[in-house]
């Protein structure tokens, strides 16, 4: 039996996307990301069933989840920074070179953000959006305060902040809807199929109210 450890699995785009989808599905059912050992075993098992020959295990899956959590924390700080613009549908970040230099000196992940954005940010935002942002996770050199009482929980848009006494269920549903909407847009962009058939149906429909 092959050992389970680092270096055995290469996290391809397909494997990573499947992992994220499984975590989102579990979060929507449990409304928490503080999963127990049995939950991580189930996630690992589902991935291994989807990708025959892939050897994972709890440690490998949890380590990947922690890395993605760190990326979410770092990317959240980046798009909150003054002078930084982020376009969700295209997953592109715009900032001055001096801002990029500042962040890239802190961690190499920001180099990836500059060229590719944060691929699964909406999903991570859904899973981690209810947790306090710990800016010390990725690095301990942050310009922003980390006091949870002062800083709102970021949801990827400056107009959305958590307020005391707000309806948590409605916020959660908003995050779920935002994630689903983003996923649909990205799937359409990936397939790049022009919606001519839909247009023709609506245009040629003869039935209209008088």
HEC per residue, the chain: CCCCCCCCCCCCHHHHHHHHHHHHHHHHHHCCCCCCHHHHHHHHHHHHHHCCCCCCCHHHHHHHHHHHHHHHHHHHHHHHCCCCEEECCCCEEECCHHHHHHHHHHCCHHHHHHHHCCCCHHHHHHHHCCCCCCCCCCCCCCCCCCCCCCCCCCCCCCCCCCCCCCCHHHHHHHHHHHHHHHHHHHHHHHHCCCCHHHHHHHHHCCCCCC
How much of the chain exceeds pLDDT 90, in percent?
47
Domain count, the chain: 1
Q: What pLDDT score does 149 carry? A: 33
Rounded to 5°, angle at Cα 135 from 130 and 140: 160
Torsion sign over Cα 82, 174, 16, 191: negative
Looking at per-residue pLDDT, the higher value among 99 and 30 belongs to 99
113 located within any domain = yes
Residue at 165 is within a domain: yes
User: What's the whole-model pTM score?
Assistant: 0.65
Chain centroid offset of residue 115 CA: 17
Task: Answer yes or no: is 122 within a domain.
Answer: yes
Range of the domain at 122: 13-189
Residue 128 has what pLDDT? Answer: 80
pLDDT above 50 for 77: yes
Work out whether strand 85-87 and strand 92-94 pair parallel, antiparallel, or are unpaired. antiparallel
Q: Which of 109-113, 114-118, 157-161 is the least confident region? A: 157-161
Q: How far apart are CA 3 and CA 56, in angstroms?
A: 10
**Token digits for 195?**
């919606």
pLDDT interval class at 10 (50, 70, 90): confident
Any domain includes 6 = no
Which pLDDT value is given to residue 33? 86
User: Is 101 part of any domain?
Assistant: yes
Length of the chain: 210
């Amino acid at each position: 039996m092959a050992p389970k450890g680092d270096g055995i699995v290469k996290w391809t785009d397909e494997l990573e996307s499947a992992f994220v989808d499984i975590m989102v599905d579990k979060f929507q059912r449990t409304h928490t990301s503080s999963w127990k050992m049995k939950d991580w075993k189930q996630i690992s098992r589902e991935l291994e069933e989807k990708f025959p020959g892939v050897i994972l295990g709890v440690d490998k899956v949890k380590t990947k989840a922690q890395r993605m959590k760190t990326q979410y924390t770092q990317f959240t700080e980046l798009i909150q920074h003054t002078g930084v613009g982020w376009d969700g549908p295209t997953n592109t970040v715009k900032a001055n070179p001096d801002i990029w230099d500042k962040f890239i000196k802190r961690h190499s992940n920001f180099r990836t953000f500059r060229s590719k954005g944060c691929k699964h940010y909406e999903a991570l935002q859904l899973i981690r959006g209810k947790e306090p942002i710990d800016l010390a996770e990725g690095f301990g050199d942050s310009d922003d305060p980390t006091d949870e009482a002062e800083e709102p929980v970021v949801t990827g848009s400056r107009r959305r902040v958590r307020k005391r006494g707000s309806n948590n269920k409605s916020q959660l549903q908003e995050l779920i809807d935002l994630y689903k909407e983003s996923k649909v847009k990205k799937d359409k962009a990936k397939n790049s199929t022009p919606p001519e058939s839909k247009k023709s149906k609506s245009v040629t429909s003869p039935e209209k109210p008088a």
